[in-house]
């Protein structure tokens, strides 16, 4: 596998990536949390790339690098549709600018190109939002820079960049609340990851499926992207999505953006004299067009009524969902931390409600989660003693048969799921799953937030590390590791066969490895299964059984 790639190989890979994006546009479209706002993200991004490929195909044989870059940036700008398409055009423009002095693709040029892409794309957006395509771009650029510092080969650097792009997509719900609320990742970010992945697969000659299921996102089990359409049009301030080209030698881009901000939101004005692309959501498209007509000529005008498109989409999706057969059983579980949610979904949980010790979901939250499960009966695992009653209330209000397996921790729900039998009744499964976790003992390590006493009347000072065994404070100390060891002793880990460790968001991989080594030095026969739970406030949660 070569360490550098020629310009011709790059162009062929752009065409291949465009094809992949077009083939998967419907998958990206269905991730949109917002009902339309710029049409469909996948469609808009794929149209942008198709325009680039069409422009490149018109180049004469032997075209210079400058001509190739111009064809890419012009094609992207002219073909950009919607907010996502325009931002994609600016990412491509930045990549071209960053690679202006390159004659071949290498680890160094990848770093330079992505650094410039971040600068150009962020400049184009007046109010950048975390958890979107811009976040994925920035994280991919950071990966490219790390790859260069580590002196990775070009294929290694490209694979590393793909891995970080998908990992960034998976993190978008933690950065943008509306994504987490609706159980989806960012559509534009996912589209960018697919585009990068398609390019890398083509240029490195990979065979087989792309890394499209977030399998490269993190170590451990990774879920497929959750796909769900949410109709949250109600309450939006603007009805029309306006986009068009402007041909002007005198247009002041900064002044145009100031004007667009008074007309609506999601305003973009990109390009340079004499060619610009304009995009804005507004209730007064006539005023928007009039402003630019006074300053130049306009063409390729698209005005979409997003409210009507949203209603049409909702009807279409409702019809699709009505055609999908329901399964006999579905599961809802409560958990904090993306790692814990990932494991639960890999074990068959349909909807994971974010919550736990410090954030107890309401009855409505759980009832809404149940309604999202396409099953004849649903089982809820609250994973916290404070959530059991809310779960029971949700079952009482549910329109479908629903029951609670009263787990009090995430590790208990792991065990409970292994007791499920799809041929049994709802009542039989509740009994069997409850029995499955009965022998699971849970330990939790956190930091005291006030002076208190442990279960044996020993003093606890604010800031002490404390260990909780099945709800009882059984260990107090100065370090996480010491408290874990004390807690294991109090829980008679000598008699256990298996220890499951869940590392919290602020507990490093190095610390986890050291802790496992320390435990293995004391408990020779115990089998340790460790995961990144990523739960907040609790650096270590574990179970022994």
pLDDT digits (tens, 9 = 90+) for 249-260: 999 988 999 999
Q: According to the model, what pLDDT value does residue 243 have? A: 87
Closest CA to 296 of 275, 315, 312, 316: 275
d(CA 354, CA 352): 6
Judged against a pLDDT cut of 60, whether residue 222 lies above it is answered with no
What's the angle, vertex CA 169, arms to CA 167 and CA 175, rounded to 5?
105
* 429-445 residue pLDDT tens: 999 999 999 989 999 99
Q: According to the model, what pLDDT value does residue 271 have? A: 86
Contact 242, 288 (CB under 8 A): yes
Q: How many CA atoms lie within 13 A of 189 on its CB side?
A: 31
d(CA 323, CA 479): 55
Closest CA to 272 of 289, 293, 241, 250: 250
What domains are there in the chain, each with its CATH number? 5-204 (1.25.40.340), 240-310 (3.30.70), 325-436 (3.40.50.510), 441-544 (3.30.1180)
Q: According to the model, what pLDDT value does residue 14 have? A: 92
Q: According to the model, what pLDDT value does residue 390 have? A: 87
Contact 136, 192 (CB under 8 A): yes
* 277-303 residue pLDDT tens: 998 889 999 999 999 999 999 988 888
If you ran DSSP here, which 8-state letter would residue 361 be given? P
Q: How confident is the model at residue 311 (pLDDT cuts 50, 70, 90)?
A: low
d(CA 446, CA 539): 6
Helix or strand holding residue 119 (H, E): helix 107-124
- In whole angstroms, what separates CA 168 from the centre of its chain? 6
pTM comes to 0.51
Q: According to the model, what pLDDT value does residue 182 have? A: 64
State the average pLDDT over residues 390-416. Answer: 93
83-92, 381-390, 410-419: which is most confident: 410-419
Q: How confident is the model at residue 224 (pLDDT cuts 50, 70, 90)?
A: very low
Dihedral sign of CA atoms 18, 20, 23, 24 in order: negative
Judged against a pLDDT cut of 50, whether residue 231 lies above it is answered with no
* 123-138 residue pLDDT tens: 888 778 888 899 999 9
Q: According to the model, what pLDDT value does residue 317 have? A: 57
- In whole angstroms, what separates CA 47 from the centre of its chain? 23
Give Rg (Cα) of the chain. 27
Mean pLDDT over the full length of the chain: 85
Which residues have CB under 8 Å from 243's CB, separation 6+? 38, 80, 81, 82, 86, 277, 278, 279, 280, 301, 302
Which residues have CB under 8 Å from 482's CB, separation 6+? 465
């Amino acid at each position: 596998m070569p360490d550098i790639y020629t310009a011709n190989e790059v162009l062929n890979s752009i065409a291949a990536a465009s094809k992949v994006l077009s083939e998967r546009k419907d998958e990206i479209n269905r991730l949109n949390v917002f009902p339309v706002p710029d049409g469909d993200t996948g469609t808009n991004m794929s149209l942008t790339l198709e325009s680039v490929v069409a422009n490149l195909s018109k180049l004469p044989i032997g075209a210079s690098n400058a001509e190739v870059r111009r064809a890419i940036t012009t094609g992207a700008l002219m073909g950009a549709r919607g907010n996502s398409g325009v931002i994609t055009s600016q990412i491509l423009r930045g990549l071209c600018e960053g690679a202006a002095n390159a004659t071949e693709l290498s680890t160094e040029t990848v770093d330079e190109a992505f650094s410039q892409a971040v600068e150009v794309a962020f400049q184009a957006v007046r109010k950048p939002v975390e958890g979107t395509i811009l976040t994925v771009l920035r994280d991919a650029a950071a990966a490219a820079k790390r790859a260069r510092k580590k002196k990775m080969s070009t294929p290694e650097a490209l694979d590393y960049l793909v891995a970080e792009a998908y990992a960034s997509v998976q993190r978008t719900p933690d950065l943008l609340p509306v994504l987490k609320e609706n159980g989806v990742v960012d559509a534009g970010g996912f589209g960018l990851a697919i585009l990068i992945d398609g390019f890398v697969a083509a240029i490195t000659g990979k065979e087989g499926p792309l890394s499209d299921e977030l399998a490269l996102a993190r170590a451990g089990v990774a879920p497929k992207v959750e796909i769900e359409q949410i109709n949250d049009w109600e309450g939006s301030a603007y009805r029309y999505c306006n986009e068009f080209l402007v041909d002007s030698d005198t247009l002041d881009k900064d002044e145009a953006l100031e004007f667009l901000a008074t007309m609506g939101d999601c305003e973009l004005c990109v390009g340079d004299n004499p060619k610009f692309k304009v995009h804005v959501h507004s209730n007064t498209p006539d005023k928007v067009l009039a402003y630019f007509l006074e300053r130049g000529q306009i063409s390729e005008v698209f005005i979409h009524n997003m409210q009507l498109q949203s209603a049409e989409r909702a009807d279409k999706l409702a019809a699709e969902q009505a055609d999908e057969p329901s399964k006999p059983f579905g599961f809802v579980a409560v958990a904090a931390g993306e790692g814990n949610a990932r494991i639960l979904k890999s074990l068959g949980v349909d909807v994971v409600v974010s919550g736990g010790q410090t954030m107890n979901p309401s009855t409505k939250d759980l009832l809404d989660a149940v309604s999202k499960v396409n099953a004849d009966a649903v089982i809820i695992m609250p994973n916290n003693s404070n959530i059991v009653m809310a779960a029971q209330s949700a079952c009482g209000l549910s329109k479908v048969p629903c029951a609670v397996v009263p787990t009090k921790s995430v590790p208990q729900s792991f065990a409970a799921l292994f007791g499920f039998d799809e041929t049994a009744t709802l009542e039989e499964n509740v009994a069997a799953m409850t029995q499955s976790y009965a022998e699971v003992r849970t330990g939790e390590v956190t930091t005291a937030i006030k002076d208190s006493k442990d279960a044996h009347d020993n003093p606890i000072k604010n800031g002490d590390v404390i260990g909780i065994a099945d709800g009882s404070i059984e260990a107090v100390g100065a370090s996480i590791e010491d408290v874990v060891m004390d807690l294991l002793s109090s829980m008679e880990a000598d008699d256990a066969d298996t220890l499951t460790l869940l590392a919290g968001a602020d507990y490093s991989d190095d610390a986890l490895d050291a802790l496992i080594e320390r435990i293995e030095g004391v408990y020779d026969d115990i089998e340790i299964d460790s995961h990144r739970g990523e739960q907040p406030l609790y650096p270590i949660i574990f179970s022994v059984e």
